[in-house]
A and B are shown apart, each in its own frame.
Chain A
Amino acid sequence: MVGITRRAAFQGGAALLVAPSLIDRANAQSAFDWRRFRGERIEVSVQLSPRGTMLQQNNKEFEELTGIRCGLEVVPEQQHRQKIIVEYASGRPSFDVTEISLHVNKRQVGKARWNTDIRFLLADSTLTAPDFDFADYGEGMMTYATQSDGRLDTCPAGADYFILYYNKELLAAKNIDVPTTWDEMYEASKRLADPTKQVYGHVGRGVKNANVVLWSSYLLGTGQRDMIDANRQLITDTPDAIWAGENYKKFLRDVSPPGSIGFNWNECQTTFMQGRAAMWVDGIGFAAPLEDRTRSRIAGKVGYAVVPRGPGPQHHCALFGAGYGIPEASRKKGPAWLYIQWALGKANQLKWLVSGAGVPARSSPFRNEEAIGRSHFPRDFFQTLEASAKIARAGLPEIVPVTQFRDVIGSALTNSISGADVATELKKATAEFRPILEQSERET
């Protein structure tokens, strides 16, 4: 047996006393330093949505984590899109982080190189937390957010899939199954209509601009699927495009409430929530109020399903999405990148999903069975989400003048609801928009 000397005992005791501080220091070196930019201030501009509201409510959490003061502005969607473009064009945007609607502004922002390429920030281990786990982002969303030249100028934030909402009670009352094709849905809508009670089989967007995404949902079900071809030429007056237009016309004219010509998503949502429409095809991001018992008459009675199939060989649903970017002109890219990591981290993205605030771009929230089980949303909501993610395809063409595209094609569709000939209207709209697209493509 080896005897312990008094000297060895003192040395051992001293070592034990010092050990905790050594471990702390070692941890500090290995752990990510969230507070490296403490004392700085950043400005963030996001769209008014349940996601934006959530960020606003939890802003203090970010400030306490990083010591960075964060001025957060939440602006309604349409005004936000316009505001950020005007600010970007000025060369000195007031924000260090902003939300970009990828289906509207992606190409415009990418073409002007207004945002910084976040791949360089991702590669910097001093700036990117090890648990940020970029591989967690689904491939589809990564492709959607990446510019054609390979630059990644936004971090994917969320997706929005078009799905079929239906009123379970109304369908059950007439013993109607959930439709799986557009034709079945049209026939079901006719049977579900009860004008004496002002109940209609279907409700959908009729207002110009907003209505294009409903038409594109039909078009995605054809063999053509897209609105521009591989040579970036407009193909919105082809037989498939006209079929989609005819489908749109018959749904909006024959089986929708009178006045649908002026309905945007909010009028559709109100009509559906009040139990006045049996089926509604729109973005999954509008689900939360439907399940709110204080606002909705059909809470607990809403069914969710993937959009019906079209006549084409593939089955797709329209995909839209948003990402968060950092302006190239920002002088606070480091703190801004910390904000994005916090806002789009795993914890916040899981909150989005379970509260119905939006569809996260990350895939890990969908695997969190325990959190999903606690959600007040029914199982079929999450199943529809998962199934839609697999068949999602861009619901708008990736072009710079996308708003003008929606305006011109949307006007043609609106005219068709009033009775105009679909083929004539789409040919006229295509001829009107073609030179605008060609000029834009030449400049690109």
Chain B
Amino acid sequence: MSQATAASVAVRAVANRRRNYARRYVWFVIPAAVVIIAVILFPWIFTIYVSAFDWRLGGERRWVGFANYKQLFTDARFGWAVLRTIFYTALAVMLPMLLGLIAALSFNRKFPLRGLARTIFILPMMATPVAVALVWTMMFHPQLGVLNWLLVQFGLPPSLWVYSADTVIPTLVLVEVWHWTPLVMLLILGGLASLPVDPYEAAKIDGASPWQAFRYITLPLLAPFIVVALIIRTIDALKAFDTIYVITQGGPGQASETINIFLYLQAFAFYNVGYASAVVVVFFILIMGLAALLLWTRERVRMT
């Protein structure tokens, strides 16, 4: 047998072994594949399929192709819902990020009863969103709520909180900030605990001010943790539904109707499942785009 033939036989043997290996263990993949197909892939394909119908529960089902998508892009109510979602998400991400960072820096310092203070700070995060929303609803009541009572005690005029179209979104963001700032604090505090001390010692010897140490050492080293917190917060804020639904149901009027509330109304109040499916598909594309952007940012941060 020539050397070339022997080599090719050896290559084939390795390939066969690999094939056999794959064949032998393919059964282990099947349970996971079945679950993924059943709970992720099939619902997605079915949603896309349903979005091509004019279909109201209990009524006729009519094939309309892309008509639901066309209607969506001319639906002013949907457009406003998108804008409100962007506004709400921007506020509900930026404020907890800023406050969470300040809180993490504060709790990273050593002071008496620090453990107790940290525990108290993270308590809101443990509460159920619906229960939180119900309690805040009572507190926002313009005549009987405790918040207006407090404002009046301090000589300030009462506010309409969620009972006014002008203040409803900032007020809902207030609940979100109260609820989720502790999570951001925890993530960043974890990052702070893992930072090396050498760069700070070197900076101190070089005469760096505390601000310079923070700006040029802490912040760059914390960046990966901040980006992780940013991704988690953005996803959470985008999918916010329970708090908004319980407190305002999208009102007053449509003043706090985000995409999620719009979608819920179409699907479960108007039973317009075809149109609601189109909303889901478009919302999914928007989220995928945003997730890709955030992941790209994370990669860039990691590389720099």
Interface of A toward B, CB cutoff 8 Å: 82, 85-86, 88-89, 108-109, 111-112, 114, 198, 206-209, 257-263, 267, 270-271, 274, 276, 400-401, 403-404, 407, 411, 414-415, 418, 440, 443
Contact = CB atoms under 8 A, between A and B. Distances in A.
B268 A257 contact: no
Contacts of A108: 58, 271
The prevalent SS among residues of B at the interface is loop
Contacts of B253: 208, 261, 411, 414-415, 418
22 contacts: A82-B268, A85-B58, A88-B58, A89-B58, A89-B271, A112-B59, A206-B252, A208-B253, A257-B142, A258-B142, A258-B158, A259-B141, A259-B142, A260-B163, A262-B168, A267-B141, A270-B141, A271-B143, A274-B144, A403-B269, A407-B270, A443-B59
Contacts of B271: 85, 89, 108
Q: Which 4 A-B pairs have the closest CB atoms?
A: A259-B163, A259-B142, A262-B163, A112-B58
A400 B141 contact: no
Contacts of A404: 269-270
B162 A82 contact: no
Nearest to A415: B253
A271 B270 contact: no
Given A89-B58, A400-B59, A414 B251 contact: yes
Contacts of B60: 443
B106 interface: no
B64 to A, nearest CB: 12
Interface residues of B, number: 28
Contacts of B158: 258
B251 A259 contact: no
A43 B248 CA distance: 33
Nearest to B145: A259
B231 to A, nearest CB: 32
B144 A270 contact: yes
Interface string B30-63: 0000000000000000000000000011111000
Most buried by B among A207, A263, A415, A440: A207
A262 B251 contact: yes
A418 B162 CA distance: 14
Contacts of A270: 141, 144
B144 A271 contact: yes
Given A85-B57, A208-B252, A258 B160 contact: yes
Contacts of A262: 162-164, 168, 248, 251-252
B254 interface: yes
A270 B142 CA distance: 12
B143 A276 contact: yes
Given A261-B164, A262-B162, 6 more contacts: A108-B58, A112-B58, A208-B254, A270-B144, A414-B253, A440-B56
Contacts of A443: 59-60
A414 B248 CA distance: 13
Nearest to A109: B58
Contacts of A85: 57-58, 271
Nearest to A416: B253
Nearest to B168: A262
Most buried by B among A259, A276, A404: A259
B254 A411 contact: yes
A109 B57 CA distance: 10
B88 to A, nearest CB: 17
B228 interface: no
Contacts of B143: 198, 257-259, 271, 274, 276
Nearest to A418: B165
B265 interface: yes
A208 B251 contact: yes
Contacts of A112: 58-59
Contacts of A401: 56, 270
Contacts of A258: 142-143, 158, 160, 163
Nearest to B158: A258
Nearest to A406: B269
Interface string B74-97: 000000000000000000000000
Contacts of B277: none
Contacts of B59: 111-112, 400, 440, 443
A407 B268 contact: no
Nearest to A444: B59
B181 interface: no
Interface in B253-290: 253-254, 265, 268-271
A86 B57 contact: yes
B59 to A, nearest CB: 5
Contacts of B142: 257-259
Contacts of B160: 258-259
A192 to B, nearest CB: 15
A260 B160 CA distance: 10
A207 B252 contact: yes
B249 interface: yes
Most B-side CB within 10 Å, residue of A109, A111, A208: A208
B248 to A, nearest CB: 7
Contacts of B165: 261, 418
Nearest to B250: A208
Interface in B157-171: 158, 160-165, 168
